[in-house]
Structure 1
């Protein structure tokens, strides 16, 4: 143990030590993220002897795999965003945005959301970082909606399954929802419905003055403290939310969706969106169900609305956002986004009929 002491002191005290420690943590994060799914398959189907594709097996696999995946994504993104925002002051960000025409920021934020591979939960830490850096609330909301809704995985899969026309409809409709919803929320001037702590970055529990300058060690420490702070407050609620999604994922068959959201039901789009919100998944995870529902005769607008509600609105996301948004703004965000998805679903059912 005594031989390790100098190495530990070097890791803690020198800049190179901090970089080496960070590189090691990043490598460990990447390994854990890569083996997460196969690890739980070995545990559940190998060691415990559960049968794959059974309802209980699928529920347990979804719960454990998604819990670890979301915890890893949250930890990595919260840490990265916290460290990056220490280099970008509120004043500097506002200066960059000054003079831009209203609505341009929403378009740019929506496009940024398209190229960032975040699910609804992992987009929340980036959302917090953008607000803390001084980006207007409405613009940030456009990113928060577009990032999970218009997913590059879904674009590739939709193109391979349904062709360019449906894929273009998916991209344009998702962007339209994100841009208009963000613009509307920005016009409502509801910044007072954001929790005040979002605009503060703390070190050892004290607000940080970035004008004084920070050491590299302090920036890394702030990232680690923010990770622990957020996970400590939301871990139980996150597990409950993922648990609800896992139960629905494993126990509600596609026939149930086809029966209640089929073409004979004029409220099919509403039903699809209502069922999709608690069914938490990413775009890749929901695509097999999207294909199955389409093959069972569900209209394409209903299927698109279902997919958008699954990836853009979720119970875990609601729990995470409640930490930063007060209930009125949270209700407005979900209502505006949900209404936009419903309208897009009905519009494209008519367009493609």
Structure 2
């Protein structure tokens, strides 16, 4: 009887390495659950178009060709589509990010030659989970660690502008070619702008308290992460990122639905079409005062393009909203003096204009 009572409490797995065995079982369960969820995801995603048509025409009795019907169908189709894509890709990005901590990111950039560092910093900006707000403390850490200012700026530009949310939404709405072009051009802007700022040697235009910072301490020790740990990191990324941005996604799609259903096509073509030379700079000027993120602005871009706006003008608008918004400039004021902020905005703005005109010419 004593053996029977004690059996459940015995660390039975210890004889064969209890902790690794438990982790292996957890990994197996998570793999099976992940496969089942992926199949469910694919089944739901494949039925979104007929579901949107059914809701619009059968359930609500609207004509899809009418203004209201077109707006409703746009909203019902795009909302679950974008959220499903976002959850799937953010999960995989979250798994990849489990290899990158702020300390590791800083260590990877330290000691690199400037040109190599610009490229590495821009690529790490895409992979690491930092928006313009959270990137500022990391910016201070980079400068304190002796990383060149231009390399640091490449990271600071790429982190908010070329993020996984923007790429997922662009892929879902315009296809992989547009998403890839956005990725390449965004990285190019980040690398080129960082290189130019580095050549100008503007370290003296950092705020005094930033220049006086001592080198930050070494990276804290982290245990080795298992596959289960990294999968949990992906789940946590979905919970955190999608949990924060879904409201912006829905609001952005609602605005896009209104544009899709009610804004005349000729109107958007007249102010953001490829024929008008001033459409790209106008798009940048309109975007700067706005305060939103990729999740909120990409659905609007989708609707604008559907109404006749040129892709280059629309993407210039999007990039200016994400990378040059007034709120971001106010955040940067904490670490940069006015002259360096103006230089930063001018260099990035010129890059966005070039991208806008380039997209208008080739697409």
When normalised by structure 2's length, the TM-score is 0.54
**Does structure 1 residue 62 correspond to structure 2 residue 78?**
yes
Match of 1:50, SS?
A: helix
User: Aligned-pair distance for 1:29?
Assistant: 4.5
Distance 1:345 1:35, change over 3 A: same
User: Is 1:251 aligned with 2:265?
Assistant: no
Task: Provide the residue aligned with 1:18 in structure 2.
Answer: 23
Which of 1 and 2 has greater Rg?
A: 2
**Further displaced range: 31-40 or 173-182:** 31-40
Q: Is the 8 A contact 1:109 1:140 kept in 2?
A: yes
Deviation digits for residues 240-282 of structure 1, max 9, x if unmatched? 2112221233221381421321356553114445479869579
Q: Which residue does the alignment assign to 1:214?
A: 223
Q: Mean alpha-carbon deviation: is it higher for 238-247 or for 53-62?
A: 53-62
Please say if 1:137 is aligned against 2:152: yes
Corresponding position of 1:268: 279
Distance 2:245 2:278 in 1: 31
Q: Deviations for 1:52-71, whole angstroms, at most 9, x for unmatched residues? A: 86321221332233234324
The change in CA–CA distance for 1:266 and 1:185 in structure 2 (over 3 A counts) is: same
Select the residue among 76, 80, 86 that pairs with 2:96. Answer: 80
Alignment match, 2:56: 51
Could you tell me which residue of structure 2 aligns to residue 162 of structure 1? none
1:98 is aligned to 2:111 = yes
| Contact 2:86/2:242 (<8 A) preserved | no
Cα distance between partner residues in 2 of 1:150 and 1:330? 28
Structure-1 separation of matches of 2:87 and 2:311? 29
CA distance in 2, matches of 1:305, 1:48: 31
Match runs of 1:314-329 below 5 Å: 326=331, 328=333
Measured at CA, do residues 138 and 42 of structure 1 come closer, stay the same or move farther in structure 2, by a change above 3 Å?
A: same
Query: Which segments of 5 or more consecutive residues in structure 2 lack a partner in the other structure?
Result: 1-7, 58-63, 65-69, 211-215
- Aligned equivalents of 2:50, 2:193: Cα separation in 1: 44
Structure 2 counterpart of 1:304: 312
Partner residue in 2 for 1:241: 248
Q: Distance in 2 between matches of 1:88 and 1:275?
A: 33
**What is the distance in 1 between the residues matched to 2:95 and 2:273?**
44
Alignment of structure 1 residues 166-185 onto 2, 5 Å: 174-183=186-195
Asked if structure 2 preserves the Cα contact closer than 8 Å seen for 1:74 and 1:125, the reply is no
Change (3 A) 1:20 1:37: same
Write the deviation string for residues 94-122 of structure 1: whole angstroms up to 9, x where unpaired.
Answer: 5xx4151x233213445x48xx9x7xxxx
Listed as ranges, the matches of 1:312-351 within 5 Å are 326=331, 328=333, 337-338=348-349, 340-346=351-357
Aligned partners of 2:176 and 2:256: how far apart in 1?
Answer: 23
> Separation in 2 of the partners of 1:30 and 1:181?
42
* Mapped partners of 1:80, 1:21: distance in 2: 19
Give the direction of change, closer, same or farther, for the CA distance of 1:326–1:292 in structure 2 (3 Å limit). closer
Aligned residues: 299
The SS at the match of 1:209 is: coil
Give CA-to-partner distance per residue, 1:76-111, whole Å, 9 cap, x none: 423431x313697468535xx4151x233213445x
Instruction: Flag structure 1 segments of 5+ consecutive residues without an equivalent.
Output: 159-166, 194-198, 202-207
